[in-house]
Structure 1
Amino acid sequence: MIINLYIMTRSVLVICFFILLLNEVIAKESTLSVQGFIGDSVVLQCHSGNVRLESITAHWRYNDVKNVYDIEDGKESTGDQDRVYRDRTEMFPAEYMKGNFSLKLRKLQNTDGGSYCCFIPNINKQQCTQLQIKEKPMGIQETPGTNRGVESKAERIVSLLIPFFAVSILFCVRVIV
């Protein structure tokens, strides 16, 4: 009985450790990784979640330096937009009320690679995307509306840890019985 209690306690502690570790990774991991090809388009995701915004304001920045796109009070504001992005950006105004502030960047160039961050000041939220630019392999055509390689590190870790948690829980149940 004491050995079973010891094994169960140790198993629970291991599970708790991994849950805390996973929670820390998810909390810190707000950066997605997206791959784009020269000449194609890519959509950089930004969502406010289920929060309803009184005033719709969002800002897109490249490497915290260049102004990519601004939405001020629900309206496009490209007056301060860096010239590198002129006529290459597109937003989806019909989606603003749903909390979607995703940005489409067209005609990708080698110099577009880097970190793009979306700031939503009303809810103090920042969501960043690391854009990697590659040469387009021969024979590959752009598929509208798709991003290649969109998966955060947290999503990969979760998918790897789910089987571990399932086995640990089954082991605990078996020890108790």
Structure 2
Amino acid sequence: MVISCCFICVFAVLIHKVSLQETVEAVIGASVLLPCSSTEHDLKLQDTDVSWRHNGSKIVCDLTPYSNLLELQDPQYQNRIETFPLEYEKGNFSIKLTDLTHTDAGKYTCYITPSDEQKTVQLIINESTAEKGNTTTDQENQGEESRPDIVEPSTLWVLVCISLIGVIVLIIICLRKNISRCLMSSARSVGSDAQEVMNPCTY
């Protein structure tokens, strides 16, 4: 019975400390709000400490109800973090990260003590709208280059040469037929003349 009670208590504590994860997406160069709110109703701000970490190690910022402790802040986040002290009373410890870069992507964890709460935010960094536009333009240009109705000069010359060769071949064939006909008609006329010479009745 005692063991069962202990197990239930431990299980309840684990559920209480479970980290809630949220996914947030943003684009390069923009700003993003990383949410973190305490579920404790009797939170005492004078006894509460909040710290934000990136990928478990980088110090994003440390918060207290009255000030920001930035002495140990990672240089990557200096002058890029905006906090909202007026929201602390409501248990809201969200922060705003500005001038986003690819290196800002990853997991951000908000630790709230002494309530042992953890809020995890997965930040996904996408391309900026301008980069997407350039990528789309490049893809369209590539598509135009590969379109069959746009003929390159070299291809045009090949087509012209083939056409000329075809015309020359047709001319040669026609000439050969005409020459053959002429030869055959000449041969016939020669044969008829010979017959006239050989036939005495013609005189």
TM range (shorter): 0.5 to 0.7
Q: Work out whether residues 42 and 105 of structure 1, in 8 Å CA contact, stay in contact via their aligned partners in 2.
A: yes
Equivalences for residues 18-37 of structure 1 within 5 A: 30-37=20-27
From 107, 112, 115, the equivalent of 2:107 is 115
Match for residue 64 of structure 2?
72
Match for residue 96 of structure 2?
104
SS of 2:114 mapped into structure 1: helix
**Which ranges in structure 1 are unaligned for 5 or more consecutive residues?**
1-26, 141-177
Q: Work out whether residues 67 and 81 of structure 1, in 8 Å CA contact, stay in contact via their aligned partners in 2.
A: yes
> Cα distance, 1:49 vs. partner?
2.0
Match for residue 77 of structure 2?
85
Backbone CA RMSD of aligned residues: 2.0
Cα distance in structure 1, aligned partners of 2:18 and 2:71: 33
> Cα distance, 1:29 vs. partner?
6.8
TM-score, normalised relative to structure 2: 0.53
Amino acid at match of 1:88: R
Structure 1 runs (4+) deviating above 4 angstroms are: none
TM-score, normalised relative to structure 1: 0.60
Q: Work out whether residues 119 and 126 of structure 1, in 8 Å CA contact, stay in contact via their aligned partners in 2.
A: yes
Q: 1:79/1:29 Cα in 2 relative to 1: closer, same or farther (>3 Å)?
A: closer
Cα distance in structure 2, aligned partners of 1:66 and 1:30: 20
Cα distance in structure 2, aligned partners of 1:28 and 1:123: 12
SS of 1:94 mapped into structure 2: helix
Which of 1 and 2 has greater Rg? 2
Higher relative contact order (CA 8 A, sep 6+): 1
Which of the pair is proportionally richer in helix? 2
Q: Can you list the C-alpha shifts for 1:69-103, whole angstroms capped at 9, x where unaligned?
A: 10135321011000000000011000001000001
Cα distance in structure 1, aligned partners of 2:33 and 2:76: 17
Cα distance in structure 2, aligned partners of 1:62 and 1:80: 13
Q: What is the number of residues matched between the two proteins? A: 114
Amino acid at match of 1:35: E
Q: Can you list the C-alpha shifts for 1:128-176, whole angstroms capped at 9, x where unaligned?
A: 0000001112399xxxxxxxxxxxxxxxxxxxxxxxxxxxxxxxxxxxx
Amino acid at match of 1:62: H
Q: Work out whether residues 53 and 59 of structure 2, in 8 Å CA contact, stay in contact via their aligned partners in 1.
A: yes
Equivalences for residues 1-177 of structure 1 within 5 A: 30-54=20-44, 55-138=47-130
